[in-house]
Amino acid sequence: MHGFGRFLSYRLFRMCVALVSVVTVVFVVMRLSGDPVPLLLPADAPIEEMERLRHDMGLDRPIYVQYGVFVSQAVRGDFGRSIHYRTPAMAVVWERIPATVELSLASFLCAIVVAIPAGILSAVRRGTIYDNIVMGVALAGQAAPTFYIGIMLILVCSLWLGWFPTSGRGSWQQLVLPSVTLGAFAMASIARITRSAVLEVLQADFIRTARAKGLPEIVTIVKHTMRNAAIPIITIVGLQFGNMLGGAVITETIFSWPGIGRLAIQSIYNRDYPIVQACVFITAAMFVALNFLVDLAYGILDPRIRQR
């Protein structure tokens, strides 16, 4: 228990450092990107009015003072009021989180349901036509940019065939194309890692022993192979889910999906500091939490990792 407690506390410390670092970098970069005041007032607004608004927003203070105020508010979950929406920034972001989580979960489920069985079968049938086709498709899925996949799906499945809507959220039909687009890279990565992990375990002595005992192939694969190949598969699955949560910006923009990725892009154009900071914090927190859960899974599956 002492070793696991040290393992757990070290991972928690790394998680906190990562969150603070991400938020600090975004805070500084957003301030260096320009002054939002001219975007909020007419082009012919007098200097006095601009200075008054800048003072009301606290943007006339030194940047270290602004950072101190930001940190003191952030620890209470308060990222200030949105410059564009004129409401608390966190409230605006929370309204968009369900859409991003829905899209990410759909993409994630699509990826693991297709990729893990495909990777296992590809490893078991190594060198066959099936293996070559799966790995070729996986390579193409990793190489193709997300925006290209999304545009081609809209062109073929929406405009040519009329199967699915091109944008929006509300029905399951509107979820299909965005989830396939977002999950394509993860699907390819998980399939390739699963194949490599299973191939490595299949060459082990205990697998040959299990087969020599006459165990059915399905029992050898499920009971013996997958448990020993689980760590790299869990790693890539956890990381890809985190990438989906944080990397849905392009997909949400292409399909006009009302998630936090699209909100962040719009807020960057508007120089809406509170919204961008809240979006980044929420996204970073979810990504870091997923990595923390992956680390915990390591410790449960392989007790030797707890001693590191």
Whether 143 and 68 have beta carbons less than 8 Å apart is answered as no
Rounded Cα gap, residues 89 and 111, in angstroms: 32
Residue 41, amino acid: L
List C-alpha distances in Å: 288 to 77, 148, 185, 218, 240: 17, 28, 20, 36, 12
pLDDT at position 299 is 63
pLDDT at position 305 is 54
Token code pair at residue 146: 């997300």
Residue 245, amino acid: L
pLDDT at position 3 is 58
Angle at 125 between CA 120 and CA 130, to 5 degrees: 95
Query: Considering only CA atoms, which of 58, 180, 51 is closest in space to residue 110?
Result: 180
CA-atom Rg of the chain in angstroms: 24
pLDDT at position 237 is 78
pLDDT at position 223 is 67
302 Cβ contact partners less than 8 Å away, ≥ 6 residues apart: 231
Whether 252 and 262 have beta carbons less than 8 Å apart is answered as yes
pLDDT at position 224 is 66
pLDDT tens string 232-268: 777 777 777 777 776 677 888 888 888 888 888 888 7
pLDDT at position 91 is 85
CA of residue 120 relative to chain centroid, distance? 24
Neighbours of 279 (CB within 10 A): 31
Identify the segments of the chain with pLDDT beneath 50.
none
φ, ψ dihedrals at 88, nearest 5°: -55, 130
Rounded Cα gap, residues 159 and 153, in angstroms: 9
CA of residue 110 relative to chain centroid, distance? 15
pLDDT at position 41 is 67
